[in-house]
Amino acid sequence: MLPWLQNNQFPLYLAPMARYTDTVYRQLCKREGADVVVTEFVMAESVLADEPQVWENLHYTEDQRPIGMQIFGSNPKTMAEAAQLLEHRLKPDFIDLNFGCPAEKVTCQDAGASLLKNPSKLIDIVESVVDAVPGTPVTAKIRLGWDDQNIVAMDIARELQNCRVGALTIHGRTKVQGYSGEGRWEIIREIAERVELPIIGNGNVKNSRMVKDIRDNTAIAGVMIGRAALGYPWIFNEIKQHLETGTQPPPPDIETRWNTIVAYAELLSARPARQHHTEQIKWMRPRLIKLTKDMRGSKKLRHDLQNITYLHQLREVAADQMKKELTA
C-alpha cells in the first residue's frame, strides 16, 4: 500500500489541472496542507519525444513529495516506455494513469475518458505500465463511465484489484457530464465499500464539512481536490483543521491572502522558463484573478488585475487592498 494511505490516514490530494497546477502552484498547495500532489498530465508520446515543455511541466521540488506524475495515451507499449523514462529520470513517488480526461483533444486520440468505452484496453495499459516499473507504484484515475447508460467504474475497480495498482481515483461524473452537475459520491462510496483497492474520491469537493462527512461515514480512503483549490489553496489547511478539531476554521485574513498572492507571482517569475521577462506578469493575470475569489470588491479587483503588467504594480494593488481592509 502507498505509505500515505497506511494507518488510516486520510490524505488530501491536489488534482492535476492543465495550465494551473504547475510546480509553483503545487508547492504553494503543499505549504497550505495538501498531502499529495500530481503533476499536470503529459502525453506518453511527448515524453518519449523528449519535448522540452514536458520536462517543464513535470519539474518539481523535493518539498512537493509525495508527488505523482500523470501520463495519458492509448498504446500499452508507449505508456510503459514513458513510465520507465519518468521512473529513471525523475524518480516520482508514483505514476498516475489518466483515464478520466473528458477533453475532446484527448478523447479523439482514444485516450483519457475514451478508454472507459474499452475497459479491456484500459486494463492492458495498466498491466503494461505496472510490469514496466516494478520499483514505482502505479495508480489510475477514471470517471464513472462514458455516460449514464455506461457506468463502468465498479467493474474497472474490481479488475484493477488484480493488477497491483496502489490506488484508484474516481471522479464522480461521466465523460458526457464534463464538469457540470453534481459529483455522484454515492457511487464512489459503494465502490469503496465493495473493493479492497484504496479509492480516492474526486469531483465537486466543496468544503471541509463535506470532506469530514466522507472520512467519517464512508470507506473512501482520501479525497482529491481540483477546482475548489484553484483559487483557494487555503482549503487544504481548513479541511485539516476541521478533521482534527471538528470545527470549521475561519478563512485566512486579507493580509495572509495578499501576501500569498504576491509570493506566488514572485515564485512564478523566478522560474527559469520565465527569467527572460522576470518583471512582466501579464500572462499571470488569469491565475491571480482566481486567487481573489470571494474577496470584497472582487469586480474592481478583477479590473485592477487585468491592467497590471509588472510585479511592482501587483505589490501596489496588494498594499492598497490591505490598507483598505484595515480602515474599513
Report the alpha-carbon distance of residue 222 to residue 34 in Å, rounded: 12
Q: Which three cell numbers stand for residue 58?
A: 513535470
DSSP 3-state of 220: coil
Report the alpha-carbon distance of residue 288 to residue 274 in Å, rounded: 16
Active site residue 108: no
Residue 210 neighbours by CB distance under 10 Å: 16
Q: Which of 29, 101, 108, 163 is catalytic?
A: 101
Residue 258 neighbours by CB distance under 10 Å: 23
Q: Which three cell numbers stand for residue 37?
A: 500532489
Q: Which residue has the cell 509525495?
A: 66
Which residues, in sequence order, are CB contacts of 233 under 8 Å at separation 6+? 25, 28, 29, 32, 34, 260, 291
Q: Report whether 159 contacts 132 (CB < 8 A).
A: no
Catalytically active residues, by annotation: 101
